[in-house]
Homo-oligomer: A and B are copies of this chain.
Amino acid sequence: MADPRFFSLAGPFTLRELAAIAKAELGPGTDPQRLIIDVAPLETAGPQDISFIDNRRYVDTFRKSRAGACVVAPDLADKAPEGMALVITPQPYRGYALIAQAFHPEPAVIPGCHESAVIDPSARIGAGSRIGPGVVIGARVEIGRDCDIGPHTVIDDGVVIGDETKIGANAYLGYCLIGRRCRFHAGVRIGNRGFGFAMDPDGYVDVPQLGRVIVEDDVEIGANSTIDRGAGPDTVIGAGCKIDNLVQIGHNVRLGRGCVLVAQSGIAGSTKLDDFVVLAAQAGVAGHLTIGKGAQLAAKTGVMRDVPAGQAVAGAPAMPVRDFFRLVAIWQRQLKAKGKRDE
């Protein structure tokens, strides 16, 4: 059970309701009226909980689970322990997500501006929004309806934020236009000047960074991630992008829709990602490149050239992932041969 100090609980729901929520089917012989009171991991779920399995690695845990019900893909249904009710869908993780959202809805935003917030008189704040303690809101800022701005976050002059966007604590947003339903976590830094300067015998000369950051709707940005504003063009984060913690995005970068950037990955200036590109953790892409639609970069990949649409790459420098694993096999053979020679 989720710790009630941190999470509220809705429900209970019948299995019929949960199947509808998950867009799933009930397994044969299931009682649709059976009541479920919460979600829980397979290891700790009890007879009134619903769990899920999405990874064959956990089949043993599934077999031993005491969960009353489980969201499961059709091909794993026959591994279920006796008596477990099954909620069957080809996308069990999505199904579980929807069910967990039903049991644990986000707490409603309680509107109001904390008395310690510092708000420029020219700023406009939409109805239903909460402005936390110590928030600083600059001149001409526009914040939409039902937003939630966390404590000590600083919204610099001229920034525009769309409806229902939530921003965590201690963040900085400047020189940016933010869409609706975005969620930025604590310590995010958006709109600092890009890393642009020119050589000079007397020292580096700063290049004014005259672009903005445009964040489209439904974007999530993880804790302490940094997105620089454009140098002249804008930096653009497409709708629905998911950005994890400690990610760096340089000036003029353009992300298409639904890109996924896992923790500690980075993209250098002026590179363009088409829709649904995935960077796994600690991957990096050099500047001025184009990464095609749906390309996938394995963890720690270092990309120095354009990547075509749909290609999965790995290694530094990046190569097709199949080549990378063949190269690793070559290394292992060379090591074995050397081992024999050394004997």
- Seen from chain A, the residues whose Cβ lies within 8 Å of a Cβ on chain B are 2-3, 5-7, 39-41, 43-44, 55, 57, 91, 93-94, 96-98, 100-101, 103-104, 114, 116, 118, 132-134, 136, 140, 150-152, 154, 157-158, 168-172, 174-175, 185-187, 189, 192-193, 195-200, 203-208, 210-212, 218, 220, 222-224, 226, 228, 232-233, 240, 242, 244-246, 248, 250, 258, 262-264, 266, 268, 281-282, 284, 286, 288, 299-300, 302, 304, 316-317, 319, 323, 326-331, 334-335, 338-339
Q: Which 7 A-B pairs have the closest CB atoms?
A: A5-B158, A94-B198, A172-B186, A189-B223, A2-B210, A41-B232, A226-B245
Residues of B within 8 A of A206 (CB): 97, 101, 220
A/B interface sample: 8 pairs, CB < 8 A = A96-B207, A97-B207, A116-B116, A151-B152, A170-B172, A195-B222, A203-B218, A266-B282
Distance to closest chain B CB from A275 (angstroms): 12
Q: Give chain B residues whose Cβ lies under 8 Å from the Cβ of A246.
A: 224, 226, 246, 248, 266
**Could you say which of B39, B40, B302 contacts A300, with CB atoms under 8 Å apart?**
B302
User: Which residue of chain B lies nearest to A234 when distances are taken between CB atoms in the complex?
Assistant: B3
Q: Judging by beta carbons under 8 Å apart, are B328 and A317 in contact?
A: yes
> Cβ of B152 and Cβ of A136 under 8 Å apart?
yes
Residue of B40, B152, B226, B244 touching A170 (CB-CB under 8 A): B152
Q: Is the CB of B97 within 8 A of A197?
A: yes
A331 touches B335 (CB 8 A): no
Copies of this chain, whole number? 3
With a cutoff of 8 Å between Cβ atoms, the chain B residues found around residue A317 in the complex are: 328
Beta-carbon contact of B39 and A232 below 8 Å: yes
Given A185-B192, A335-B326, verify A98-B170 contact (CB < 8 Å): no
Bound CA–CA A338/B169 (angstroms): 54
A326 and B338: CB pair below 8 A? yes
- The residue in chain B whose Cβ has the minimal distance to the Cβ of A1 is B210
A133–B299 alpha-carbon span in the complex (Å): 41
Contacts of A152 in B (CB 8 A): 134, 136, 151-152, 154, 170
Cβ contact within 8 Å between A39 and B210: yes
Evaluate contact between B93 and A192: CB separation under 8 angstroms: no
- B205 in contact with A175 (CB, 8 Å): no
- Min C-beta distance of A200 to chain B, whole Å: 5
Give the residue of B98, B222, B338 whose beta carbon is less than 8 angstroms from that of A192: B222
